A = this chain, B = another copy of it.
């Protein structure tokens, strides 16, 4: 039986590769027409999708509120999925863009041209909306996609997948450019992750444990972020009103996401002025504070922060707080304890800002703004397939452009090398 799954995954992957070679040559117009039609079809097939979703929901009532919320579809969420596909249709097609061109002394004209990557595998949790979102982004960027969602969402995913593939057929596009792994067997993922001959990149979307599992068993390159331990550093030259507003937003506005602040650093010179009001505000909002000794002198009610706290992504109304002696200590703390995701400095002193922005080794560094802006839509990319804290290929929010590679197209007139 294991061999059966291996063979099945290989067939899917090989089909995806062949389809990707066709898709790479399809015009933007044809891709956009299919995307718009997929949006229409999702809305038209709402009843069958919701029926499948109810079946999924019935199967996992005991998994907790957050889990159920992610798994649940309703009319509004299907409308959002459809809207997402329409948005992607409107975005510029990155494929074919001449990124640079020049001529060599020998008269060769070289164009560096953006091309699709080829075959992308997405491994995600039981969130059926990801199925449509990722299929749309991959189609638009000319890539075949292999989707593997959480097994609890399989019925919903199959229903959505069927709608998308029927539209591919209608538009004479190769069906294999969108594939869904339709088994709950976890061996399917292991088998998939060995197929570096066919699959170019894996993008896991979900919690840290899912991502670590993918990384440890993949022979295919993975683009990922493990977690978001984001900092705001309130500098000695900070506008303290602004600092309070930004820190509050970064922690409280949506604590369960990767770009929320998990640790606040405060310069010693302003701690006594800044912390009492700030911590009171956090306390009133139900934020649990875990502070350094200095912090606890100001707020005796705060818990003591451990080493582990400074390495924790709470994804909750919990905040670690540390008072630092200078900007060097702040930068070193962020580089050592952070996750290279998003970090912000609040200061009115441009030199301090520059030091921070240059030295903090994170995908996104902010001056006088909330870390919550790290997001493909907020950055104006029009979409997001994930956020990378890796340094190769893509860093920060990833959208269409990050789903492409390039080739060098060289035009000669019979040149040979001496």
Contact = CB atoms under 8 A, between A and B. Distances in A.
A84 B207 CA distance: 46
Contact of A408 (B246, B363, B416): B363
A340 to B, nearest CB: 9
Give the size range of A's interface with the partner.
Answer: 35 or more
A37 to B, nearest CB: 25
Contact of A396 (B335, B390, B392, B407): B407
How many copies of this protein are present in the complex? 2
Contacts of A29: none
A276 interface: no
Interface stretch (A86-94, A152-160, A185-193, A370-378): A370-378
A65 interface: no
B407 A373 contact: no
Contacts of A370: 412, 415-417
Nearest to A201: B392
A417 B25 CA distance: 40
Q: Which of A110, A357, A410 has the most CB of B within 10 A?
A: A410
B117 A392 contact: yes
A405 B118 CA distance: 22
Interface string A269-282: 00000000000000
Interface in A375-418: 378-380, 390-393, 395-396, 405-418
Interface of A: 21, 24-25, 102, 104, 106, 108, 110, 117-118, 200-201, 221, 223, 239, 242, 245-246, 248-250, 253-254, 335, 357-359, 361-370, 372-374, 378-380, 390-393, 395-396, 405-418
